[in-house]
Structure 1
Amino acid sequence: MSYFNENHYERRRGLLFFVAMMLISAVVGGLIALNGAKALGLLGPAQVPPGESRTTPEINIPPSGNTAGKTAVVTIAEQVGPAVVGISNLDVYSDFFQGEQEVEKSTGSGVIFDSAGYIVTNNHVVAGASKLIVSLADGRQVPGQMVGTDPRTDLAVIKINAGDLTVARFGNSDDLRVGDVAVAIGNPGGTEFARSVTQGIISGLNRLLITEEGLQFKLIQTDAAINPGNSGGALVDVKGRVIGINSIKIAREGFEGMGFAIPSNNVQQIVADLVKYKKVIRPALGVWMIRDVDKELADYNDLGVDYGVLIDPQPSGPAAKAGMKRYDIVIEIAGKKVTNRFDLQNEIFSKKVGDTVPVVVVRDSKKVSLSVKLGELEQ
């Protein structure tokens, strides 16, 4: 029987017709999906004229299943990634035989938060730099200038003179919930691994960090991988909004996935001061906080109160001028109960330099009311 007999030809023609219809349907469907994706903004930000800066848009992706989650992370990487930069901290020195030399001391990440070229990063990334080089997503490398630093929170602001920048959109870190999706973007191994993306969740909120000065700050905990080079990079929510600046990687034996970020609400307050004043202006009570008072300490020393903060006034400071004495226990500031050092710091930092606040202390088991005019915390 011939391969081209009539019956076989008719069956083959029917098959070809069916395949052709399937191909046409696929092409038409693809065009419709492409137009729909463009309309929804899933293919990246709209093109802007050269030299103009743009702010990353808020991403709207249905939170359903793994497919949507992957799409969200891809979109976040495409739209927020260009707002994350690499920062090289260089030490410049002169060599008798070779002249001026540059040695890279450290690398880190930063986030562009203003179209004027302002970048927020970690203080330890830029500390002691003789020269800063900022690597942009489009391959440009431009010098950075120091604007201001805040060692207490490990934040700093630098500035570059460049156009056509992508500016990150910041979200409200107070709205975060444990279990929310979190995406970390940064340079975990320097510029070689620029804008690496890791996905995780918000593992915890209000994690306390106690600095060497005794100050306490609340951090966001995430299991999104954060390495030393991620310092200064962005922690982003599912809508592409920066909710934190990656800051601390804690590695303990037996514990993995413990990354920390400074909440975006705190970051925005601090960078506003750094841009305006080159430093962070904080009010000060003018005391050294010896320790928190608990029931054991109170019972052993018959303090008369089992909460508050045991303090020592700084000489000629606001508290000393108001009559505060060593071993006074601060239990109330401006009508708010103070149970520990964080309460004390939080209440003072909520005020302004020059404000006069009522303070209640316990001295010799008796309450004493004082009025303190707040000074400025030394840098």
Structure 2
Amino acid sequence: MVVEEMSAGGIVSKVATEVSPSVVGITNLSLDGNLFDRDYTETTGSGVIIDEEGYIVTNNHVVKNADRLIVTLADGNEEDAAVIGTDARTDLALIKIKVDNYVTPAEFGNSDRLVVGQGVVAIGNPLGLRFARSVTSGVVSGLNRLLTTEEGFAFRLIQTDAAINPGNSGGALVDLEGKLIGINTIKIAAQGYEGMGFSIPSNQVRRVVDDLKKYGKVRRPLLGIRILGEISQGEADLKDLKQCCGVIVEPIIGGTAYKAGIRSRDIIIQVDGEQVKTALELEEKITSKAVGETVSIVIARLPFIGEGQVQVKTIKVKLSE
């Protein structure tokens, strides 16, 4: 698609035509009531077909507690779906339908290449299946927006001014080439962020989906520590640390960090040569690695009162699951 040669409206229309067949409606039916008077509670959301085998990515909260999932395709046909795996931490889920005929998968784009101000299109089912595959357009308003879910998980999202409403959750955010660059989530957007839409970056989606396909869960590498706190610039100066900031940790006895030599109240200041200032930065750097990978951790160890100087050590730690 040659974007420069088309009007803004023409671009959005072309993108919508190309991508809409990949967006599905999802109906979540969950049983409630007592044993003798049971009925279904029905909620709806969206999903995106990601391959010709019938795999669909959506939000975890869209499929949560489902006794039955019904997927409505672009042609109106309905298929029951099975849950392959879910990940509450990223609010993502992978489901699958039986494919009798050809389905149109979305093509993943590279969310790391997004820039603020770039045009985007959101496609989903706002307010239920009556408005299936509705299209809104806007721009990327922000990147790496740090937000926290109801479960207390913090992660970074794409912010957009394209309208994302109830029912849009699990729908597609695409660039003006029609590439999938995010999965929309209303769950986070609804928590006091009026007028803002948020999407889970496609590169993160791909990593989660790959694990859900292989293992039915996300395999996250663990360092084997507990976080005790963070060291600010002022505290670093007081403690005579040559490098600003860091994360105070407690190794889990018998864990990989403990076996490697990390001790209580050590301050992690680098991971694989990159400075660590906050607990979130430490978590992101570790979770970007693979289970079984060995990482180089630089720690600062404070001396006991009246005993010597701050020790700086490099410790190799093999990440566990």
What is the TM-score when the length of structure 2 is the normalising length? 0.88
Give the distance between the partners of 1:210 and 1:155, measured in 2 at CA.
15
Aligned to 2:30: 91
Larger Rg: 1
Deviations 1:315-374 (A, max 9, x none): 432212223223211012223222223432233223221222221211213213322121
- SS state at 1:245 partner: strand
Instruction: List alignment gaps of at least 5 residues for structure 2.
Output: 303-309
Q: How many residues align?
A: 311
Partner of residue 76 from structure 1, selected from 11, 15, 19: 15
The answer on whether the counterparts of 1:215 and 1:345 sit within 8 Å (CA) in structure 2 is no
Name 1:271's counterpart in structure 2: 209
Residues 112-141 of structure 1: per-residue CA shift (max 9 Å, x gap): 001110000011111121111111111111
Question: What is the identity, as a one-letter code, of the residue corresponding to 1:280?
Answer: V
Measured after TM superposition, the shift of residue 244 of structure 1 is 0.6
Alpha carbon RMSD of aligned pairs, Å? 2.3
Is the 1:188–1:229 contact (alpha carbons within 8 Å) kept by the matching residues of 2? yes
Give the gaps of 5 or more residues in structure 1. 1-58
Paired residue secondary structure (1:230): coil
From 155, 165, 168, the counterpart of 1:230: 168
Taking the TM superposition and a 5 Å limit, the aligned residue runs for 1:82-231 are 82-92=21-31, 101-104=39-42, 106-162=43-99, 163-210=101-148, 216-231=154-169
Query: Structure 1 pair 177/360, CA: closer, same or farther in 2 (3 Å)?
Result: same
Deviates more, 1:169-178 or 1:145-154: 169-178
Note the C-alpha offset of 1:228.
2.8
Checking the alignment, whether the CA contact within 8 Å between 1:214 and 1:289 is kept in structure 2 is no
Give 1:151's aligned amino acid. A
Which residue does the alignment assign to 1:31? none
d(CA) in 2 for partners of 1:213, 1:308: 25
Instruction: Tell me if the contact between 1:219 and 1:262 (Cα under 8 Å) persists in the aligned partners.
Output: yes
Counterpart for residue 315 of structure 2: 370
Higher helix share: 1
Q: Which amino acid aligns with 2:261?
A: G
Change (3 A) 1:97 1:123: closer
User: Tell me, what secondary structure is at the counterpart of 2:185?
Assistant: strand
**2:62 is equivalent to residue 62 of structure 1:** no
Q: Does the CA-based 8 Å contact 2:122-2:136 persist in structure 1?
A: yes
What is the TM-score of this pair, normalised by structure 1? 0.76
The counterpart of 1:309, out of the listed 225, 238, 247, is: 247
| Identity of matched residues, % | 51
Take 2:150 and 2:251, find their aligned partners in 1: how far apart are those partners? 19
CA displacement at 1:299 relative to structure 2: 4.9
1:189-246 deviation per Cα after TM superposition (whole angstroms, max 9, x unaligned): 1112211111110001121234578764321110001123211100011111111111
Alignment of 1:230-269 (within 5 A): 230-248=168-186, 249-250=188-189, 256-269=194-207
Residue 96 of structure 1: how far off its partner (Å): 5.9
Partner of 1:351: 289
CA distance in 1, matches of 2:270, 2:316: 12
Separation in 1, partners of 2:224, 2:139: 39
Contact 1:109–1:231 under 8 Å retained in 2? yes
* SS at structure 2 position matched to 1:82: helix
